[in-house]
Structure 1
């Protein structure tokens, strides 16, 4: 994220952001308390601020929590992860009600909200910490992920091969408090205005949902 904040700030100075959508409603967690019967899905798709609002916009998702997965260092910090030396990727744990939204729908949203052909980056966010990863907790989840990759590949959705890593879930480390619900609390951040919110609005145009009423 840091890689384009300076450039985004210059864009703001030039007035290019004056046409941003001031009335866009940013989805938040509906509750911070676990719900009986809920399940957890874990995804990495670049900046976790972006991933939070993508999944929290979907009906049936209680919360998407930002954190770190896929690395080898215990108790990672944002500063450490951003060096690329811990092996972690910015990740979200998605807490959802399977009676209201399926794991398959979450996987489809995951692929629809990024460019899964990019390697160790998403847009101008560059580094292994921004790589695309779908974590699975059981064979059925793995099969669902692989089926979606096959569907997208067979449909020639992308010009390049899908580079998303499909790996077993091991450990999720929750990110620092200031990263949680970041876009909601910092709508005027240059990165949020020029990257996060436009990407979210594009996702809503392309993906059928289901969405929460905001």
Structure 2
């Protein structure tokens, strides 16, 4: 009898934990056009949204991806991100995209991560050397891509794209988040504000303090 009671108690506890962590796996309405001021919207599915009856085509569109980005910077690349800040109608839909332009040979989208998104990249023009690094042990997976080739960068992993051709290169990326975020490794480590403690970086990278001082004084380019 005691065993039966214990089993019932265990099942009830498991069910209560399951209910507590339950959630809706997808939006509960067709769309939720993001707004900044709650007084102008309605509360739907945990978000303030514009009244769906007031939504327009402009809430779901963006123009300009046909325009090449300016690659005249130190890394020779430019990322034009189209996320929920550019298309309010992306809110709750879990998707965004970007155009990436690369200067001729040497244009680089530096090693970075997207903390909230997997990325799928298709090359439209040029030849790219791309890759990502797995979590420990850190294995590098790379490939050379030509126009029409596709490559996937798993969520959260450090990855890069490098133009090895003698002409401009262009790629389009799809991302599995309306706001994927980006952490450019060099910028984050050596260009943070305030700076990371010098002793931390010298020990982490096992280099002289003068090297870290030099790196922290550089102007780290944000190509987004």
TM-score by length of 1: 0.29
TM-score by length of 2: 0.28
| Greater share of residues in strand | 2
Answer 1 or 2: higher relative contact order, Cα 8 Å, separation at least 6.
Answer: 1
Report the structure number with the largest CA radius of gyration. Answer: 2
